[in-house]
Structure 1
Amino acid sequence: MTNRQNRIRTALTAELSPDLLEVEDDSHRHAGHAGASPAGETHYSIKVWSKSFEGMNRVKIHRKINEILQPEFDSGLHALSIKIIRPE
């Protein structure tokens, strides 16, 4: 697990107490693309659900996650794919 991956997991866990959280470093899939760094840790995908999302639409949830992770964007996170997965 990468350092940024750990920080993303820690930040989202602290703020959201998620019921589901998967964080994947996808940087290797974007080598040579805009925003990619040879060192990696630039492109991530998450799958997440938290009871705190109840009553929020997808746009508000995405905004909340992006606000929580703003320090990561400020320090080199280029892209974040977010899948909101509501448990059945």
Structure 2
Amino acid sequence: MAGPVQREMETLLAAALAPTRLEVINDSARHRGHSGDDGSGESHFTVVIESPAFAGKSRLERQRMVNAALGDIPGTRVHALAIKALAPEESA
């Protein structure tokens, strides 16, 4: 079951980037007791997102777009965020 931070991330990314594929994966359990684990169960995430908005953009530009869509979540409420951002033609 998705927690409030995960649901907020999904909502923000869907609104900003109109993805054709979106997976927000909570990796927090794998990092329990490690640095950045705040005990909330929502400290580490992986985002897999495919969007036409990424066409022609570099990997860095795509990551910046994802981070911009998420606002203050990365770095304040989420300790670690892995991003895999693809344009539709790159999907396998």
TM-score (norm 2): 0.87
Equivalent residue number for residue 8 of structure 2: 7
Correspondence for 1:37: 38
Tell me which stretches of 4 or more aligned residues in structure 1 moved more than 6 Å: none
Cα distance in structure 1, aligned partners of 2:59 and 2:76: 25
State the superposition RMSD in angstroms.
1.4
Q: Residue type matched to 1:87 in 2?
A: S
The separation in 2 between residues aligned to 1:79 and 1:32, in whole angstroms, is 14
What TM-score comes out, normalization by structure 1 length?
0.90
Tell me the alpha carbon deviations over residues 14-54 of structure 1, each in whole angstroms, 9 at most, x when there is no partner: 00000110011111111111111112111000111100111
Aligned length: 88
The amino acid across from 1:67 in the alignment is A
The letter for the 2-side match of 1:21 is L
The C-alpha deviation readout for 1:61-81, integer Å capped at 9, x for no partner, is 001111211321254211111
Q: Supply the AA of the counterpart residue of 2:27.
A: D
Task: Output the CA distance in 1 between the equivalents of 2:8 and 2:37.
Answer: 19
Partner of 1:60: 61
Which residue, out of 66, 87, 91, partners 1:87?
91
- Can you give the 5+ residue segments of structure 1 that lack an aligned partner in the other structure? none
Q: Which consecutive residues of structure 2, in runs of 5 or more, have no partner in the other structure?
A: none
Sequence identity, in percent?
A: 35
